[in-house]
Amino acid sequence: MNGAPREQGERVPFTTFSGPGRFWRGNLHTHSTLSDGVFAPDAVAEFYRDAGYDFIALTEHFWPAYGFRIADTRGLRRNTFTTIPGAELHAPANSRGEEWHIVAVGLPLDFAPRRDGETGREIADRALAAGAFVGIAHPQWSGLTLADGEALAHVHAVEIYNHGCAVDSDRGDGLVLWEQLLAAGHRLSGYAADDAHFATPDPGGGWVMVKAEALEPELLVAALKRGDYYSSQGPVLHDIVAEGNEVSIACSPVRTLIVVGRGQPSRARHGLSMTRAILSLDPFPAGGYVRIVAIDDHGRRAWSNPVWR
């Protein structure tokens, strides 16, 4: 994600793709027996290692019943697999009078329990101050309103796809809230995650590909905070280059590539097993954002983060 406003006609950066390093696959939101998940932490890590992930964050519910625990997952790290300490933070109450769910990845293990009366905004601010990547969890499942999103619009990201919520309640979407916040001028990235509890077929359906120079937790968190990642349910985004009024995309075989941005316009290209396309950026006004969506034959999507032009 790239912040500075740019002149019309100038190169539009998708620096996540042109920058140094490689993409690492990770799940930012999952649970184990340390809170309400079915599998022990080592079994969760084993599942994701075997599934080809490079890292996970065990984001246990930060509830008193579970001891306000930031899971110490350092013992689950291997040469080719790492973990980032995190949690799913909670506080009363969103605009519907229900509990906040806020994902924080990159928390210190001694992150303090929730204070009496602490609001969602306040605990999110504490996570930000502690250095974490902070995201608004499962907006559709939570029934979050735009006012709720505005209350947390200074965090890093919206959880644009939650696989567990999709599988178990058909409420996996976060795109609507994300786009409303983007339209209001907030510069948030968007991440997909499993929120796996392993009681239902909820693992392995949504992940992030984070661009970093090494598989180090600190580098991954820094990249997430910069928006140097994309999200996927299946498709691989190899490269996105935008220059002038065109964007060029290279990806795994897909049937649709779309560019969307501020306002109603979009541009789409449809085909059989497309691995490349060039789309026009003409419909998108300067001062707004653009982002890329890829959809494969199974309807699985990949989403780039927005860039501003």
Distance CA 306, CA 309 (A): 10
Q: For the segment 5-44, give every residue that binds Zn ion (CB under 5 A).
A: none
Q: Which is nearer to Zn ion, 64 or 244 (CB)?
A: 64
Of residues 13 and 120, the one with the C-beta less far from Zn ion: 120
For the CB of residue 29, give the shortest distance to Zn ion in the complex, in Å: 6
Q: Which is nearer to Zn ion, 137 or 223 (CB)?
A: 137
105 burial (CB, 10 Å; 0-12 / 13-18 / 19+) is buried
> Closest Cα partner for 256 from 286, 295, 304, 212?
295
Cα Rg of the chain, angstroms? 19
CA distance 136 to 189: 11
Residue 101 engages Zn ion in binding (rule: CB under 5 A): yes
Nearest residue (beta carbon) to Zn ion? 101
Match 């306000």 to its residue by tokens. 68
Residue from the set 88, 148, 202, 228 that interacts with Zn ion by CB under 5 A: 88
Stretch binding Zn ion (CB under 5 A), from 20-28, 130-138, 166-174, 272-280: 130-138
DSSP string, 70-126: ----GGG-BTTBEE--EEEEEES--TTS--EEEEEES--TTPPPPPTT--HHHHHHH
User: At its nearest, how many Å lie between Zn ion and the CB of residue 137?
Assistant: 5
Footprint on residues 160-219 left by Zn ion (CB under 5 A): 195
Total residues contacting Zn ion by CB under 5 A comes to: 4
Instruction: Give the three-class secondary structure for 175.
Output: helix
Q: Classify 288 as helix, strand or coil.
A: coil
Instruction: Return the range that interacts with Zn ion (CB under 5 A); candidates 43-51, 99-107, 232-240, 284-292.
Output: 99-107
- Please choose, out of 47-55, 66-74, 84-92, 198-206, the segment that lies near Zn ion by the rule CB under 5 A: 84-92
What residues line the site for Zn ion (CB under 5 A)?
88, 101, 137, 195
